[in-house]
Amino acid sequence: MSALGGTVNFLSRTDPRLKVLILVLWSFLLAFVQSRAAAWVGLVGSGVLYAFSGPQSLIKGLSRLLAINSFLIFIWLTLPFSFSTPGTEIYRLGWLALTQEGLDFSLILSLKALAITLGALAITSSSGVFELLAGAKGLGAPEKLVALCQLMTRYISVIGQQYARSRQAMRVRGFQPRTNLHTLRSYANLAGILLVRGLDRAERVRSAMLCRGYNGRFWAKTDFRLKFLDLGLAYLTLALGLWVTILDAA
């Protein structure tokens, strides 16, 4: 079982630079797909990549796919009846006309959204955020942008905890949100508290970093080396990308 798990979960042992490059190129390719066949192949390809990310991320991935499906429901409720996609009328309800072109466009858009989401989940669930940022830095991403993403990843949860404590304090004091001026004033005060405490936290963090010898750079591992597994992943993704491109062009 352990050998099987290590074989299936080989995506977590591949080069982070390659995974970042695959994520960007695969997402851009799927975003410009215009045919149903290519969109279906893209979804299957993302599923294959997700299968290689390991069985431990299946439940988390399904919950996130449910979240994107809740967004796609609104597309199916509006886009097939939209006047921006005229075509062959299938059914009419008053001034609303259901068209075949609207259904096709909704299907392609849904398949692309699911494929991009599944591919992103495959990459992000097989590596930590800081590992992927190190891979992006190894590809030549701006160092300041990588440092900003690292700090945001680290402290966005801290801001969330501060928000939860402030909301709890408001509920303890009997605050009930309503559509009145008092509610707007209370939420404005909450935003101001988060801003002030966030600035105070930023000053303390900066002082702590300077005490530890911070000189404006975040050092990260960038001496990555391509392995046999990396070449296999690259050839697999290239084959899927060519297949999608050929079907879309045909």
Identity of the highest mean pLDDT range in 56-70, 78-92, 130-144, 197-211: 197-211
Residues 6+ apart with CB under 8 A from 169: none
Residue 89 φ then ψ, to 5°: -80, 130
**Would the pLDDT of 7 be above 50?**
no
Percentage of residues in the chain with pLDDT exceeding 70? 86
**Would the pLDDT of 228 be above 60?**
yes
- Distance from C-alpha of 232 to C-alpha of 216, rounded to nearest angstrom: 37
Angle between helix 100-125 and helix 58-78 axes, rounded to 10 deg? 160
- Mean confidence (pLDDT) of the chain: 81
Alpha-carbon Rg for the chain in angstroms: 24
**Would the pLDDT of 35 be above 80?**
yes
The beta strands (E) that lie in 96-141 are given as 96-99
**Would the pLDDT of 80 be above 80?**
no
Query: How many other C-beta atoms are found inside a 10 Å radius of the C-beta of residue 143?
Result: 13
What average pLDDT score do residues 30-36 get?
89
- The whole-number pLDDT of residue 65 equals 76
What average pLDDT score do residues 220-247 get?
81
pLDDT band at 79 (very low <50, low <70, confident <90, very high): confident
- The whole-number pLDDT of residue 84 equals 54
> What percentage of the chain's residues is helix, strand, coil (to nearest 5)?
75, 5, 20
What average pLDDT score do residues 14-37 get?
88
- The whole-number pLDDT of residue 40 equals 92
- Distance from C-alpha of 86 to C-alpha of 103, rounded to nearest angstrom: 11
Helix (H, G, I), strand (E, B) or coil at 96: strand
The domain limits of the chain are 2-127+224-249, 142-211
- Distance from C-alpha of 249 to C-alpha of 241, rounded to nearest angstrom: 12
- Distance from C-alpha of 1 to C-alpha of 232, rounded to nearest angstrom: 23
CA distances to 2, 5, 188, 201 from 117, rounded to whole Å, are: 28, 24, 34, 34
Q: Residue 115 forms beta bridges with which residues?
A: none
- Report which of residues 191 and 215 the model is more confident about: 191
- The whole-number pLDDT of residue 2 equals 37
What region does 87 belong to: left with phi over 0, alpha with psi -120 to 50, or beta? Answer: left
**Would the pLDDT of 8 be above 70?**
no
- The whole-number pLDDT of residue 3 equals 38
Query: How many other C-beta atoms are found inside a 10 Å radius of the C-beta of residue 162?
Result: 15
- Report which of residues 9 and 189 the model is more confident about: 189
| pLDDT tens per residue across span 93-128 | 666 777 778 888 888 999 999 899 888 888 887 777
pLDDT band at 148 (very low <50, low <70, confident <90, very high): confident
Helix (H, G, I), strand (E, B) or coil at 97: strand
Among candidate residues 142, 159, 144, 249, the one with its CA nearest the CA of residue 196: 159
**Would the pLDDT of 5 be above 50?**
no
Are 75 and 106 in contact by the 8 Å Cβ rule? The answer is yes
Residues 6+ apart with CB under 8 A from 202: none
- Distance from C-alpha of 11 to C-alpha of 230, rounded to nearest angstrom: 9
Residues 6+ apart with CB under 8 A from 55: 5, 8, 9
